[in-house]
Amino acid sequence: MFCARCRDRELRVDDLEGWEVHMCTECGGLWIGGDVFREAIRKPPPATVMSVKGPAPQPAVWEESALSCPACGKAMKKGVYSYSSGVIIDRCEPCGGIWLDRGELAKIRAFVNWKPPQERVLMAQLQAEGVRRRMETQERRWGAGGAMRGRGGLEGLIPFLRNLFSDSFE
């Protein structure tokens, strides 16, 4: 098997924490099977890799890659791993393998294992509590059946919307 990036370098079979991977000694690229990839990214990143805060989420658009699959020779597709990681990976749809450039596995691990700061968690909990209270208020006003129950269809829509939006600004 040859390197997807260097093309003329043969990949060396290597052991990555108990998983068999294929590594390029020239560019540091890594060919890893899809099942192994899903297991490997769950492990914590090395201590030298800081928490990754990626750019704004990007659409999950997989487009043609310039790389060919080292295993089957088919054209691979490239795309952003998990929308907001900022890490672009190459994958082979026919055989399910993943090509990672040097350092990308560590960045993905940092992204997957990232824990939000406690204040962000508390803010999200407060926002969820506010939404729950607004829903309970609406339910008490309009009954468990929703806004239109007993309101004669569209005639109840305008008052419902007025109440809904006035509650959101309280």
Q: What is the pLDDT of residue 154?
A: 60
Report if residue 3 sits inside a domain: no
Q: What is this structure's pTM?
A: 0.59
Are 70 and 105 in a shared domain? yes
**Residue range 60-93, pLDDT digits in tens:** 567 888 899 999 999 999 988 887 788 889 999 9
User: 13 — phi, psi (to 5°)?
Assistant: -70, 130
Report if residue 70 sits inside a domain: yes
Are 20 and 87 in a shared domain? yes
12-16 β-sheet, strand order: 12-16, 19-23, 30-32, 98-100, 88-91, 75-80, 63-68
Average pLDDT over residues 118-130: 81
Q: What is the pLDDT of residue 84?
A: 73
User: Which candidate, 14, 15, 20, places its Cα nearest to that of 33?
Assistant: 20
Output 128 or 117, whichever has higher pLDDT. Answer: 128
Report if residue 5 sits inside a domain: no
Mean pLDDT of the chain: 80
**Residue range 46-58, pLDDT digits in tens:** 666 555 555 555 5
With the CA atoms of 67, 103, 31 and 77 taken in that order, what torsion angle do they form, in degrees rounded to the nearest 10?
A: -30
pLDDT band at 42 (very low <50, low <70, confident <90, very high): confident
Q: How many Å apart are CA 20 and CA 55, to the nearest integer?
A: 31
Q: Which two tokens stand for residue 77?
A: 């597709």
Q: Which two tokens stand for residue 117?
A: 């700061």
Are 27 and 104 in a shared domain? yes
Contacts (Cβ under 8 Å, ≥6 apart) of 10: 1, 2, 3
- List the domain range (segments joined by +) for residue 42: 12-112
Do 112 and 54 form a contact (C-beta atoms < 8 A)? no
